[in-house]
Structure 1
Amino acid sequence: MKKILLVCIMIMSMLASACGNVEMTSNPNTSSEPKPETDESIIPKNTTEYCTVERINLDSETEKYFYGTWKVEKLLGFANSWNDASEYPTGQKFIGDEIIIKKDFFSSKGLKNYKKYQYELKNPLYEITATCYNSLSFYRLYKIDIPDLNENDVVKAVGISDPSTELRIPAGLSFLVVNNDRLILLSEATIFELKKLLIK
C-alpha cells in the first residue's frame, strides 16, 4: 500500500509541476472580475532552473544510447521520501540481473526474483516523461540523491508503455538517462546503476 501511495504522490507531483506553467484565461461570465497580475519574477529565465515535465519521444541521441542489453551493476540508494531498505537492503535480488531494451522489443524478465517485473513487449512505446537540466532541479522533482551526479548533468526520465493499451508498465519500473552516457534503473523508490553489455 505504501508503494502505491508513493507512486501516486510522485505522479501528482509531476502533474502539479506541469500544470504550474499553464496560463489562466478569464471566464466570459466573470469578465468584470479583475485579472490577476503575473509575477514575472517567478517565471524561470532559462530551462536550467527547473525540469520540463512532458511526454515526448526519445531524441536520436538518447535512443542510440538507451537501446541495448543492460546488467544491474550496483545499488545506488533510495528516495529520501521513502526508504525501501527493508525490501532491497543491499540490492542482492537485483544485482547481476539483465534487462533488454530494443526499439522493437523490451524485456524485464531478466529481473528474475520479482514476478511483478516480468514484462515482455513487442514494439514498446518509449517516452521521455521529464527532463531535468541540473542536479538541483532533479532533486527538487524526484527527492533522490544520485551518487556522482554533477551539478550540470542533464537527467531524462524514460517510461515504457504497452503499445496495445498505451499504459505505462504499472510495476513502478522506469529509467533515468544521465547525459546519454549513464543509465539508472528506478524501481519504485530504489535506484540501481546499469552497465551496458557488449553482445557479439
Structure 2
Amino acid sequence: MNLAESTVSPFAGDGGEDIHDDLKSNARLAQPCGVEVSNNAVFFIDSETSALRVSAIADEGRVVTLVGKGLFDFGDVDAVGKDALFQHPQGLAVSKDVIYIADSYNNKIKSVAIGSLQVSTVAGSGIVGDIDGFSTIAQFSEPAGVAVAGNRVYVADTNNHKIKIMELDTKEVYMLDLTGL
C-alpha cells in the first residue's frame, strides 16, 4: 500500500491457485489465511495447499514453502519441513523461535521450530470434540486462529464457539472464562 499515491498492489501472488515458489510477483498461492510479520519476514498459511510459507518484506523477496508439498497433499504427519503434513490450516502465531499453527481439519495445534522446521503436535487429540485437560487429550473442532502471549497460546476453537488457552508450561488446555467482567 502506498499512501502517498493512494494505491494498493498485491504483496505476493500472481492470482493463480497453486503452490509455486518464486519471486513474490510470480509466486502462486492457494487461499492464504493467517499472516504474521516477524524479523523482516512475512509468514503465512496457504490453506488449500496445507502449507506454511514465508517471504521477505523486501521488494525483491521470494515466496518459499517451509511446510507443504502440493495442492492435494495433506494429512496429519509430524516430521521435518516438507515431510510434515497439515490439513487445511488457517491461523498462525510467531513466538520467538516457534510458529504455532491452527491445523484446522486435523483439530490440532502444531508447532514449527524456526530453523530446524521440526513440526510437532502441541495440543489436540485429533478427535473432533470439546474436551479440556492435558494437551494430548484436549479436543477442538476446527481451530482457526491462534495467538501467543507470554507462556500461553490462545486458540479460536471455531466450531465449539469458544476461545481456549493452552499453558505452555503445564500443557493444560481450558476455556477462557470471561464471567464477571
Normalising by the residue count of structure 2, what TM-score does the alignment of the two structures yield?
A: 0.32
Instruction: Indicate the structure (1 or 2) with the bigger Cα radius of gyration.
Output: 1
TM-score by length of 1: 0.29
Name which structure has the greater RCO, CA cutoff 8 Å, separation 6+.
1
- Structure (1/2) with the larger strand percentage: 2
